[in-house]
Amino acid sequence: MLKKVLTAALFVICAFLGFFAFKNLPYASEHSWFSYLGFLVGLGVAALAIFIEKVFRKVPLPVIIGGAVGLFLGLGVARLLSLVFEQLNSGLFSAFLYGLLSVFFGYLGLVLGGKKFQEIKMPDSVSNAVSFVSKKFQRECPKVVDTSAIIDGRLADLCETGWIDGPLIIPSFVLAELQHIADSTDPQKRARGRRGLDTLQHIQDSGTVEVRILEIDYPKIKEIDHKLVELCREIGAKLITTDYNLNKIARLKGVPVLNVNELAMALKPIVTPGETLKITLVKEGKEKHQGVGYLDDGTMVVVENARHLIGKEVEIIVTSLLQTPSGRIIFGRLKESQAKKAVA
């Protein structure tokens, strides 16, 4: 909100300054449109300032310092050379020459200064000071949390282990959705909503990660998923979710996503073909004679020709792995000794 107020103030001030500056030009009284031209020039200057701010926001501080020093040195050299030529000629030619030299040397100073400043070996005290200032003013990386990630519950554990840093942004419309789910007449939905509120309260009370409740809404946008994507794009945040469809939509629109399910899948133990496993078969598979079991982390294991061994612990050899959007599936066959034992 403060950012919008400052931006609006910048445009208003620049527009009025441009209006009155052009109004007091020598020939402004002869041309009534001069004042309005100044108004437009002021708006243009404000827009240019916003553009420069967005560009330099991602530039490292040493590059900005080097570029500024190089720019001033280049403009100084341009001014000295223009003084020499002013003795030979004057008027429009001198003004044009000074502008040309300023652009030439200013550009060289800005570009070369930004690149070469980083190569200077400064004393440790100065280097540490620059590093401190860079970190001090480095933009924080906020993360917007959607309803599914809050209800999931694993986010609290991730925050406590240090995998997730803050601040965590909870939009008011997400809180409203959580409250609506917690007030549902459906017992299962009500339990999920209350678990989500408890998880959020636990994260806030633990103090390991800063939690910010953001009072914001987008009345013109009906879908909460689209509101979340718009918010992330507006404040430059990452999105934390477990929703598969929201994950896809956000990434298509250029929003970085931290998917809790993908993290869990990446941390699962990896098995390789030929490895031996012991599992308990708990149900039938989709295909004929298949038996299905699960590892401790929930990974599904499909065993060929093992339907008759459901309810028993078997020893298998891994034959292949399949990665799907919903998780990893391991395929295997009974170990020869296990198969002979089953036949006997």
Q: How far is CA 166 from CA 5, 15, 225, 250, in A?
A: 25, 38, 21, 20
Is the pLDDT score of 133 beyond 50? Answer: no
Alpha-carbon 241 to chain mean position: 13
Region 143-265: CATH code: 3.40.50.1010
Both tokens of residue 305?
């020709």
Q: Bridge partners of 241?
A: 259
Average pLDDT over the chain, rounded to an integer: 77
Residue 229 confidence (pLDDT): 92
Residue with tokens 């001033």: 72
Looking at residue 88, its pLDDT comes to 56
> Which of 37-41, 91-95, 252-256, 270-274 shows the highest mean pLDDT?
252-256
Residue 149: burial class (beta carbons within 10 Å; 0-12, 13-18, 19+)? buried
Q: Is the pLDDT of residue 93 over 60?
A: no
> DSSP assignment of 151-176, as one string?
HH-HHHHHHHHTSS-SPEEEEHHHHH
User: What residue spans in the chain does CATH classification 2.40.50.140 cover?
Assistant: 276-343
Report the distance separating Cα 99 and Cα 105, nearest Å.
10
| Residue whose C-alpha is closest to residue 333's, from 271, 254, 265, 277 | 277
Q: Which residue ranges does the chain devote to CATH 3.40.50.1010?
A: 143-265
Find which of 68-82, 85-99, 121-135, 277-291 is predicted with most confidence, using mean pLDDT. 277-291
pLDDT given for residue 135 in this prediction: 46
Give the pLDDT confidence score for residue 155 in this predicted structure. Answer: 84
For residue range 312-337, what is the model confidence (pLDDT) as tens digits?
889 999 999 887 766 778 999 988 76
For residue 120, what is the DSSP state?
-
Q: Span 191-214, mean pLDDT?
A: 87
Sorting pLDDT into bands at 50, 70 and 90, what band is 84? low
For tokens 């209350």, name the residue: 194
- pLDDT tens for 219-272 read 888 899 999 999 888 888 899 998 888 989 999 988 999 888 777 777 666 788
Query: Residue 63 in contact with residue 114, Cβ under 8 Å?
Result: yes
Q: Which residue is associated with the tokens 């066959």?
A: 333
Residue 276 CB partners (closer than 8 Å, separation 6+): 315, 316, 317, 318, 335
**Distance, CA of 143 to CA of 134 (rounded, Å):** 21
Residue scoring higher pLDDT (94 or 69) = 69
Specify the higher pLDDT residue, 98 or 126: 98
* Residue 85 or residue 201, greater confidence: 201
Q: What is the mean pLDDT of residues 212-222?
A: 86
- 264-283 as b/e, with b when 16 or more CB fall inside 10 Å? bbeeeeebeeeeebebebee
101, amino acid identity: L
The answer to whether domain 276-343 has CATH 2.40.50.140 is yes
For residue 286, what pLDDT is reported? Answer: 86
What's the rounded Cα separation, in Å, for the pair 152 and 259? 11
Give residue for tokens 């946008």. Answer: 221
Taking a C-beta distance cutoff of 8 angstroms, is the pair 196, 178 a contact?
Answer: yes
pLDDT tens per residue across span 114-130: 566 555 555 544 445 44
- The proportion of the chain whose per-residue pLDDT surpasses 90, expressed as a percent, equals 10
Average the pLDDT over 193-215 and give the result: 87
- What is the C-alpha to C-alpha distance for residues 179 and 172, in angstroms, rounded to an integer? 11
* Predicted structure pTM score: 0.45
